[in-house]
Structure 1
Amino acid sequence: MHGVGDVRFFDRLARLYDLVMPAADPVGLSDAFDLANVPVRRVLDVAGGSGRASLAIANRPDVERSIVVDVSAGMLDRAFDRGLAAIRGDARELPVGSDAVDAAMIVDALHHVPDRDAALAEMYRAIRPGGVAVIREFDPSHPLGRLLAVGESVLGMGSTFVARDELLAALKASGFDPVLLEEGFVYTAVGRVPTDVDDTDA
């Protein structure tokens, strides 16, 4: 699970979280899903909290189901209140079978996952060939990213931010074909799961 301090923080913040956090970017997430070689029908919203990212892709026509996975019961209560499918689970041991989804996303939350490599390996296991992992993160090499890292440390959180090039290398090491889709304070890295067969119409 997340570091205990982070889980307790989000449990306490759950009722206020959506008042202080902006909505997730539907255009950026949709552009990332467009890199998949299969229709993106089933999505895991990993460390998805209150479901910000799931709401952002709700109007994408090919998405049939997005499931929020998080360790914070308080945040999942907010997702349930919004009518979203949600299940309590750890990013390092996702509660789905292998090749079970077409995409998995971690939006603004990878820095709260204590074992990044384990989470990436689990995403690779869960996504079927041709699918994508989409990660939106804050770059600690950017001035605003450094400020955010200091702020979360002051709050007592166990955040571990990762710069874009390091994340791209980690995606590659996990078996993905990595692509940098957006860069800056907030960046988007996409990991494509290789496939030898074009099963776009599957």
Structure 2
Amino acid sequence: MRWDVQAFDLFAPLYDIWMPSADETALRKGLACADREGDRIIDVGGGSGRAARTVGATVVDPAAGMLARARAKGLETVQASATDLPHPDDSVDAVIVVDALHHFPDPEAGLAEISRVLAPGGVLVVREFDRSTRRGRLLEAGEHLFGFESTFYTAAELEAAIEAAGLEARPVEYGFETTVCGVAPAGRDDE
């Protein structure tokens, strides 16, 4: 088990105290990029459910301690890694990933897996820290000092990674906290 998952299991009781609320406005802007209605939403790497609560998503996370916190808030949870989602192909209308992509064991594989489960016209909304900003560089250095195997992106790198996963990247906002969407093409061929 990666240190990231172990650490989040340990920190679960204090996580919501340290972390600010999710930016509901940014998430709603991102969800509005979808080319379909968003009835089934999952929050991959959703931890304690701080973002899932704002948009009515199911929390998907590998850390049992974080999922216990999400369930205590009345949220539906699924224990799984971003690189091995238990959802069928084309079964999800929207996926949110809030401040978590940098903790995925393999971010590119995680984005490809998200692309697999997104229905045509569905949207991925990624809220992530831009490593090209001053605060982003400090956060990246701090997480590496703490032992996390974090992979941070610039906004342009994040857009390119989303495109490489087969989704149409649509930037929503830039800055230390960047929001980029990826929309699953309506006529894609997943052969």
TM-score range normalised by the length of the shorter chain: over 0.9
CA contact (8 A) 2:107 2:151 kept: no
The 1-side partners of 2:179 and 2:25 are apart by 12
> Which residue of structure 2 aligns with residue 136 of structure 1?
127
> Which residue of structure 2 aligns with residue 187 of structure 1?
178
> Which residue of structure 1 aligns with residue 83 of structure 2?
92
CA contact (8 A) 1:45 1:54 kept: yes
> Which residue of structure 1 aligns with residue 15 of structure 2?
17
1:78 aligns with 2:69: yes
Encode CA deviations 1:110-151: one digit per residue, 9 max, x unaligned: 000121111111111101001101100001110000011111
Encode CA deviations 1:26-66: one digit per residue, 9 max, x unaligned: 111011111111111100100100011111214xxxxxxx2
> Which residue of structure 2 aligns with residue 200 of structure 1?
none
The 2-side partners of 1:168 and 1:27 are apart by 20
Q: List structure 1 segments (4+ residues) > 2 angstroms apart after TM superposition.
A: none
Encode CA deviations 1:144-168: one digit per residue, 9 max, x unaligned: 0001111111211111111111111
> Which residue of structure 1 aligns with residue 48 of structure 2?
50
Q: Which runs of 5+ in 1 are unaligned?
A: 59-65, 198-202
The 1-side partners of 2:18 and 2:120 are apart by 37
Quote the RMSD (CA, aligned, Å). 1.2
1:178 aligns with 2:176: no
Aligned-pair distance for 1:196? 4.2
Distance 1:166 1:83, change over 3 A: same
The 2-side partners of 1:71 and 1:196 are apart by 32
Aligned-pair distance for 1:189? 0.7
Q: Please, which of 5, 25, 28 is the counterpart of residue 27 of structure 1?
A: 25
CA contact (8 A) 2:115 2:166 kept: yes
Larger mean CA deviation between 76-85 and 153-162 belongs to: 153-162
> Which residue of structure 1 aligns with residue 95 of structure 2?
104
CA contact (8 A) 1:23 1:56 kept: no
Aligned-pair distance for 1:195? 0.9
Q: Which amino acid aligns with 2:121?
A: G
